[in-house]
Structure 1
């Protein structure tokens, strides 16, 4: 197959987080262009990491502006959910393409083309709605799981320095730190705080404490509640207080 010479092509690739791999999207899209005999060098690539529910995506907004300015005739995406996982954002994208006479090509999914005249739009709308509902269900399940974990006294989020999380999800003092893996022991922090209390500087204390930065040490020392975890063995948070029963401060 040969491409139309006056077509102006763009593609949008999105992964949800920096840690994810988008190579499968890129390869599918490249294979599609190869099949259509469209040189990849003639295609403008818009690629980023970000939530499909967020409108604060620089590459997405740049592409949308370019579409609305009439810079493209065709846009290629891996699947409809890559455009957006929020209904109103997907609809805005579809509307902009329709108004600008842009055809959307989908390399993987139930609908493979959304014409500027609206052909394929109904199916795409349904797919976008399903993606939005899946996102809402995931959020509800996540919130429910977090609520149950909190009720059970489990620790969520980043583990405080000097602590680890047990296999069951509970906070516990790190009494055997793996320094090579970047860990800091509970008693390392306690000792550092005592040295600061004795007049040693944050910089010198941090330099002599494994994997503890001056900024972290300063933040702990200036927080009355957190300082008390390590020096007095007392905490306002019941989850921390339960963990501190393992140590004799």
Structure 2
């Protein structure tokens, strides 16, 4: 079906309405796409999977953070900077970009030096690092573990009363 409009103003009005309608439909589709993406990200995070770019020193494999060796390499580099080494010298020695070292030292220092993360998933990955360190140092102090267990049992017994 062809519609012929001889009036130029009417034709421009019709073209304008069609263009606005197509724009509105595109915006609605864009919003729906964003909602589907956000829903998928929330579902993955609920399943404990990492979404987004992982912190340096971590590798995402099957949605989970791994690679303790790279993490320890970065941590040693950041510790050297904390002890007074220059960013440039550490970058030359380790092969880690100076800009990466500066960024990590400024924004994520606690993750690397203290083994503490704001994100539960990263904190869970750091548990593997702590276990690796315990194994390297001969394991945790058994007496300290016994004391901690006794305190936890006492606290649990007090809670039962």
TM-score bracket, normalised by the shorter chain, equals 0.5 to 0.7
| Rounded Cα–Cα distance in structure 1 between residues aligned with 2:116 and 2:18 | 58
Q: What stretches of structure 1 of length at least 5 have no aligned partner?
A: 1-100, 102-114, 176-184
Map residues 55-134 of structure 1 onto 2, 5 A cutoff: 117-134=12-29
- Equivalent in the alignment of 1:233: 115
**Higher share of residues assigned helix:** 2
Note if contact 1:229-1:235 (Cα within 8 Å) is conserved in structure 2.
yes
From the superposition, tell whether residues 117 and 155 of structure 1 become closer, same or farther in structure 2 (CA, over 3 Å).
same
| Rounded Cα–Cα distance in structure 2 between residues aligned with 1:201 and 1:125 | 58
Q: CA deviation at 1:174?
A: 5.5
Note if contact 1:195-1:205 (Cα within 8 Å) is conserved in structure 2.
yes
- Equivalent in the alignment of 1:139: 34
Map residues 139-178 of structure 1 onto 2, 5 A cutoff: 139-167=34-62, 169-173=63-67, 175=69
Q: TM-score, normalised by structure 2?
A: 0.62
Q: CA deviation at 1:197?
A: 3.0
**Higher share of residues assigned strand:** 1
1:208 paired residue among 69, 93, 118: 93
Q: What stretches of structure 2 of length at least 5 have no aligned partner?
A: 1-7, 134-161
Aligned residues between the structures: 123
Q: TM-score, normalised by structure 1?
A: 0.43
Could you say what secondary structure the match of 1:229 adopts?
Answer: helix
Q: CA deviation at 1:171?
A: 2.1
Q: Which one has the largest radius of gyration?
A: 2
- Equivalent in the alignment of 2:125: 243
Aligned-residue CA RMSD (Å): 2.5
From the superposition, tell whether residues 131 and 220 of structure 1 become closer, same or farther in structure 2 (CA, over 3 Å).
same
Matched, 1:219 2:103: yes
Q: CA deviation at 1:204?
A: 0.2
Q: CA deviation at 1:138?
A: 0.8
